[in-house]
Structure 1
Amino acid sequence: MTERGEEACRQVDTGMTRVFALLGKRWTGLVVAVLLDGPVYFAELRRAVPGISERMLSDRLTELSAAGLVVREVDGGPPLRVSYRLTEAGRALDPALKELSRWAETYLADGGQCPARFRG
């Protein structure tokens, strides 16, 4: 195989590129993980994801909505409240996120670093 052909074989496929372009952004996976338990009001969602600003949460929800993973619903109130829920496509991420969580418990248990017993 030519050197150029070997390089082509090592490229990440477009599906994986699209997944990480969306879910690889800071906070996005955490927002989806919270929504897996059901609809959540904006303020509750912000409290459930420590450290996220209102602006960043709004941006992430807008991106997830544009991708077809989240639906925004307005409760006319009073008071007026906005909740968010996952679409069928968003809920379909559940098995993958649970598997990533199990992986992290096994391999990133030592403060975010792979324990020495699993290296190499």
Structure 2
Amino acid sequence: MADHSEATCKQVDDGMARVFELFGKRWTGLIVATLMSGPVHFADLRRAIPGISERMLSDRLMELAGVGLLVREVDAGPPLRVSYRLTEAGLAMDPALKELGRWAETYLADGGQCPQRFRR
């Protein structure tokens, strides 16, 4: 007989699982946040996110393009330059990212840890 207890039946929402599968990867949120202001060339994007390697940036950009959050555009040269911009779906993340930023200012302001007054 199958176990149908409350603990067994309680699962994470599929949509939330998909969001964190993508945005839970290092750099993804920072890339999307950087692109919120408009198209950015690859080199400028890399400079805007200290610590990210060219390979990692390229991989994350391909992944974000693959799920439809950004578009890669080749600018006519010379010199040949590649820029990236968010799609409508990518831009729709703006309110959520701003809310996460506000949450971090309140709850992670002490060097990445919740201040004692918020711990229970």
Corresponding residue of 2:73: 73
CA displacement at 1:63 relative to structure 2: 0.3
Unpaired segments ≥5 residues, structure 1: none
Corresponding residue of 2:110: 110
Corresponding residue of 1:51: 51
Corresponding residue of 1:35: 35
CA displacement at 1:8 relative to structure 2: 4.0
The amino acid across from 1:43 in the alignment is A
The amino acid across from 1:96 in the alignment is A
- CA distance 1:11–1:59, change in 2 (3 Å): same
Give the SS at the match of 1:4: coil
Unpaired segments ≥5 residues, structure 2: none
Corresponding residue of 2:89: 89
CA displacement at 1:113 relative to structure 2: 0.2
CA displacement at 1:100 relative to structure 2: 0.0
Separation of aligned partners in 1, 2:9 and 2:36: 35
Identity of aligned residues (%): 76
Separation of aligned partners in 1, 2:99 and 2:45: 22
User: How many residues are paired up?
Assistant: 119
The amino acid across from 2:42 in the alignment is F
Give the SS at the match of 1:22: helix
Corresponding residue of 1:63: 63
TM-score normalised by structure 1 residue count:
0.95
Corresponding residue of 2:4: 4
The amino acid across from 1:19 in the alignment is V
CA displacement at 1:57 relative to structure 2: 0.1
CA displacement at 1:7 relative to structure 2: 2.1
CA displacement at 1:11 relative to structure 2: 1.3
Corresponding residue of 1:19: 19
Give the SS at the match of 2:7: helix
